[in-house]
A and B are shown apart, each in its own frame.
Chain A
């Protein structure tokens, strides 16, 4: 069976996440929509920003519109309802907040082009997806705005489609490296069940940094955030500390002042990989110092799409690019949405 059929068997909601703006997200979405039409899968489509407008607000480049087939569910802002080419039937009026007023869930009655929009806040996005699944569709696709990777957070969707492209860098190997870095971060190991995981799950209600010793005893640090708190964390790590749980964002400022000996002795645990904000270079350095990391929930990447075109005007050899990508990321399917 087709690509999308396989995906819809495994997942209920998929977010399309761009490595950066113009990585070809909307192109990827359109490619997948076409697939869905061919395979007869009923889709729900929403976005984390307004998408499908003909002109890109940031770069001013032409943006592909979203063509939807009959029976697709779609989130549309009330004032754009009149502007869409497609025949739409309003199924539900929501009160989620968007850039541009009230959001409607519509069913496409007559195929055509639509401007898709969605809630600004992640928690509301999740509710909207559930609404769509309740109304009736096989798979919900969330189109991300710019490179807001946090939307990839497993709280929102079951798996992601990572859209990458030439826009990341003028050098192909840099682009492949950056993408592979993100994939590597997203597939960070989950913390195995046992003493430590139970300790974290039982005590993780107030989003505090927690240190756990060999016996599974939890010490909470009285800090409002881990950001810039490396020295305090360093002080708090004792001889028998084994786990450091960071509830929020994980940047260099969380870890930079921790001594190498202490760094080797503990394992850092994060909620999920979207909390990591460390570039490939610093990541490599940390690894060398013996840094170890686990997450409570990792992100499943269902598919990677590449776009060999950059809006600044250069193009990569698409066959070579696909080859390099598959070499760097062997276990996830990679497709070129322009082929």
Chain B
């Protein structure tokens, strides 16, 4: 406890650590469950575990029994590791982001036809929340979905859609872009599903004739690119981000007059 805790007023971006009460105190809140019976031994166990994770001054602020043999903890600790913020590089989806109304006008002026997108939550994933946030009229968090965009024709196929169905639909309606949503990520199921999708798209000879994007809470643009998608949209990305990317990509690829997939 006798460490030097002199308060600093400016953060050193080459050595960033968490902020709790003062800069660089490293305070972190953790919540986890251990398969041990509720009791003081459990508390000590959590403390030791957090210590082992490399946190100083672990303190269990709350714990209760989840079920016999399982205890849930909230623990605070002071982190020691630092990160060089200035050396971080994150690939991002390129292009300007316009809002809903601007997107509609931009498409009218620059593309001169409707942009068609088909979206679904694929394979085993039963969660429509992601695809609905992007496509459905009511949108998410005050950001209206693609159904309210002018000059955009979206198709929302819902959840548990086999890759085959999504691709067949995209071909049927001559989609400019396919939006794939994945919410569940346990045991890396989203990787398996997304890979299956991209392989089928490639096998169908559709890969360079459609803009293939994916999105979900655990998806980043970098991951999407590694899996072979054109773009990925993670948390905090809404319909306008997706459409801004898609429409600028349509222009970049010169598909203004190529509404039909065959012509591309």
**Could you tell me which A residues sit within 8 Å of B by CB distance?**
21, 48-50, 57-59, 79, 98-100, 120-123, 145-150, 153, 206-207, 224-225, 227-229, 247-251, 253, 274-275, 277
Contacts and interface: CB of A to CB of B under 8 A. Distances in A.
A229 B171 CA distance: 13
B207 interface: yes
B153 interface: no
Shortest 9 CB-CB contacts between residues of A and residues of B:
A99-B225, A249-B203, A227-B164, A150-B202, A224-B171, A248-B204, A49-B226, A227-B168, A275-B203
A58 B232 CA distance: 14
Interface stretch (B27-35, B102-110, B192-200, B239-247): B192-200
Contact of B204 (A100, A145, A249): A249
Contacts of A250: 203
Contact of A148 (B199, B208, B230): B199
A248 to B, nearest CB: 4
7 contacts: A57-B222, A79-B89, A99-B226, A145-B226, A148-B199, A224-B168, A248-B206
B199 A149 contact: yes
Interface in B202-231: 202-208, 222-223, 225-228, 230
Nearest to B206: A248
B208 A123 contact: yes
Q: Is the interface of B mostly helix, strand, loop or mixed?
A: helix
Interface of B: 89, 91, 162, 164-165, 167-168, 171-172, 188, 191, 195-196, 198-200, 202-208, 222-223, 225-228, 230, 261-262
Contacts of A248: 203-206
A147 B195 contact: yes
A98 B227 CA distance: 12
Contacts of B227: 49, 145-146, 148
Given A49-B228, A50-B226, A228-B165, A58 B188 contact: yes
B228 A148 contact: yes
B171 A225 contact: yes
Contacts of A206: 262
A277 B199 contact: yes
B203 A274 contact: yes
B222 A99 contact: yes
Contact of B167 (A79, A153, A227, A247): A227
Contact of B223 (A57, A148, A247): A57
A262 B23 CA distance: 74
The residue in A145, A153, A274 that gathers the most chain B C-beta atoms within 10 A of its C-beta is A145
A229 B162 CA distance: 14
A333 to B, nearest CB: 26
Nearest to B212: A120
Given A120-B225, A277-B199, 4 more contacts: A99-B222, A227-B164, A248-B203, A253-B162
A124 to B, nearest CB: 9
Nearest to A145: B226
A148 B223 CA distance: 14
Nearest to A100: B91
Contact of B172 (A79, A148, A224, A275): A224
A227 B226 contact: no
